[in-house]
Structure 1
Amino acid sequence: MKKLTILTVLIAMLAACTSSQINKTIGDINKALGEESLSTEQVVAGLKEALIKGITTGSAEASKIDGYFKNPKIKIPFPPDVQRVEEKLRQIGLGNEVDKFVMTLNRGAEDAAKEAKPIFINAIKSMTIQDAWGILKGDDNAATQYLIKTTSVQLKSKFKPVIKNSLDKVNATKYYGDIVTTYNKIPFVDKVNPDLDDYATDKAIEGLFYLVAQEEEKIRKDPVARTTELLKKVFAAQDQ
């Protein structure tokens, strides 16, 4: 009979268990399988470590120069609800101004991405044992989905001022104001004035979650991505 792995058995058995029951079951399974002891605390700590690693890597990737701008998966485009502005400005020869704005918009997101890590880490440290088992039973991006659920509101409220300051610092707000002003002077067009800060904040957060999900999937599936002994110990159980 094929050897069962510790985490496979746990996922099947521990959906409704209490903390003490989980500890007892882990001990029984470790003993039956002849594995090195793996405690509840180690499993949960391993998941938290994996998330923190993913966040650290994802935030670093997003916050470097061109982290957003040259990554087609997360690059922030001209706001779609005013796409007609971009099209019209390109038609009248102002394509360079539009391109400059899009670059500075992404530079603002790259600058602000540095501030997201502490918010994510605080949510990870608050994760309960039951949260951890829910993640173990979930999809390859289950931990990222947990972060989306637990941090989105707080992240947006704390991230938006950072985004605004970042956009101001790289002159994205000025470029956008100039673009909108120029557009609004064109005869017979519908005037526009959307909230650039909200748009940039939402897209920047969406990009961060995308990168964190990519890192989570690597750690779950690729042994090379497990860079500490705890990660190797916890996630190796899933590979057997």
Structure 2
Amino acid sequence: MKKNLVLIFTVLVCFLNISCLSSLQELSSGLMDLNGGTSVKKVPAYTNEEAVSAMKDALEEGIKFASSSLSQKDAYFKNAAIKILLPEEAKPIIGILNKIPGGQSLVDDVVLRLNRTAEEAAKDTVNIFVSAIKQMTVIDGIKIVTGNKDAATEYLREKCYDKLVNLYKPKVNTVLNKPLVMNVSANEAWEKLITNYNKYGKIANTAAKIAGQKEPCPPVTVDLAQYATEKALDGLFTGIAEEEAKIRENPLKYASAMIQKVFNYVKQGITTITVRS
């Protein structure tokens, strides 16, 4: 009876003062339910541990899909968004080869082989990514779950990029060292081209500088193997980012209970939930 009187008095006071309504809501959420004997409270929608678990599941989903799909034949070569082409600086080489019978087919062969190499290397990336995932901290997990739509992809890029370069670049170099016209490889032709270009370009730049003009031949320092490796990795991370976006957009599609729970709450902007105890 005493409890009922206290509750009635509190309600009357708050109705007389509209500014107390929020306080009434807070108070009532903590009061015992007189009929059921339960209390109502707000708790986090998911724990830190659940966020990390969900993030690890999502990353594993993303890397498995990306490495599997990009390791398929023509995954790079027939995808205009990630296809690896020779750099702009290679145009003089291409121009020379085009003047030779069958030269264009040789250029096409190098491009094809570069893309095939990227496709082949993609399947070997899983172990590198898994190692990074295992090292994820609670702070990492929370930051990624509540971050941008590509936060997980950027985490993997930061943690794995150098190791992936070490995986891809030797494979790319093998392709570029394959003999082409007159037993000269793409790497050898490229080095000869930029050496001569830079040599004579330096003379032209010096003359322009003396005349007070802009240098006409900026030095070319492109490492062909590094360039192709970076392009291959751009394609890999594009694939992972696309899968991450799908997970965030439709978490209920995935088998992992943690992905469904955590990312569904994140998508709806829910940080706390009401529970009865």
With structure 1 as the length reference, what TM-score do the two structures score? 0.72
Q: Contact between 1:218 and 1:225, CA under 8 Å: does it hold in 2?
A: no
Look up the SS of the partner of 1:231 in the other structure.
Answer: helix
Measured in 2, the distance between the counterparts of 1:101 and 1:129 equals 45
Aligned to 1:32: 42
Question: Where does residue 160 of structure 1 map in the other structure?
Answer: 169
Q: In structure 2, do the counterparts of structure 1 residues 31 and 132 end up closer, same or farther at CA, with 3 Å as the change threshold?
A: farther
Counterpart CA distance in 2 for 1:108 and 1:54 is 21
Give how far 1:87 is off: 3.1
What does the per-residue CA deviation read over 1:191-212, in whole Å, with 9 as the maximum and x for residues that have no partner?
9996443232222112111111
Per-residue deviation at 1:102? Answer: 0.7
- Which residue pairs with 2:178 in the alignment? 173
Structure 2 CA distance for aligned equivalents of residues 160 and 117 of structure 1: 17
Q: Give the corresponding residue for 1:132.
A: 141
Question: CA-atom RMSD, angstroms?
Answer: 3.2
Counterpart Cα distance in 2 of 1:111 and 1:136:
31
* 1:81-120 equivalence runs, <5 A: 81-93=89-101, 94-120=103-129
Is the contact made by 1:51 and 1:216 (CA closer than 8 Å) also made in structure 2? yes
Aligned letter for 1:120? F
In structure 2, how many angstroms separate the alpha carbons of the residues matched to 1:52 and 1:162?
A: 25
Question: Mind listing any 5+ residue stretches in structure 1 that lack a counterpart?
Answer: 1-29
User: 2:152 is paired with a residue of what secondary structure?
Assistant: helix
Pairing partner for 1:200 from 228, 234, 246: 228
Deviations 1:2-37 (A, max 9, x none): xxxxxxxxxxxxxxxxxxxxxxxxxxxx952696xx
Q: State the partner residue of 2:56.
A: 48
Bigger Rg over Cα: 2
Structure 1 distance, partners of 2:190, 2:152, is 43
Contact 1:69 1:76 in 2 (8 A): yes
8 Å CA contact retained: 2:118, 2:168: no
Conserved? CA contact 1:135–1:142, under 8 Å:
yes
Question: How far does residue 135 in structure 1 lie from its aligned partner after superposition?
Answer: 1.3
Q: Is the 8 A contact 1:85 1:180 kept in 2?
A: no
One-letter amino acid of the counterpart of residue 238, structure 1: V
Are 2:100 and 1:59 aligned?
no
For 1:105, the aligned partner's letter is L
Distance, in Å, in 2 between the alignment partners of 1:62 and 1:174 is: 27
Deviation per residue, 1:81-109 (Å, 9 max, x gap): 32221233234452122112211110011
Distance 1:175 1:141, change over 3 A: farther
- Structure 1 134/182 Cα, relative in aligned 2: closer, same or farther at 3 Å? closer
Identity level (%)? 36
Q: 1:174 to 1:145 in 2, by over 3 A?
A: same
Equivalent in 235, 240, 250 of residue 212 of structure 1: 240
TM-score, length basis structure 2: 0.63
More moved, 176-185 vs 117-126: 176-185
Task: Count the aligned residue pairs.
Answer: 203
**Aligned amino acid, residue 44 of structure 1:** V
CA deviations 1:128-187 (Å, max 9, x no partner) are 11111221332110111111111112222243234445x38xxx733484457779999x
In structure 2, stretches of 5+ residues that fail to align are 1-39, 199-219, 269-277
The 1:206/1:225 distance shift into structure 2, 3 A limit, reads: farther
In structure 2, the CA distance between the partners of 1:175 and 1:46, relative to structure 1 (3 Å rule), is: farther
Task: Say if 2:93 and 2:189, in contact at 8 Å, map to a contact too.
Answer: no
Q: What displacement does 1:238 show?
A: 2.3
- Say if 1:173 and 1:223 are closer, same or farther in 2 by CA, change over 3 A: same
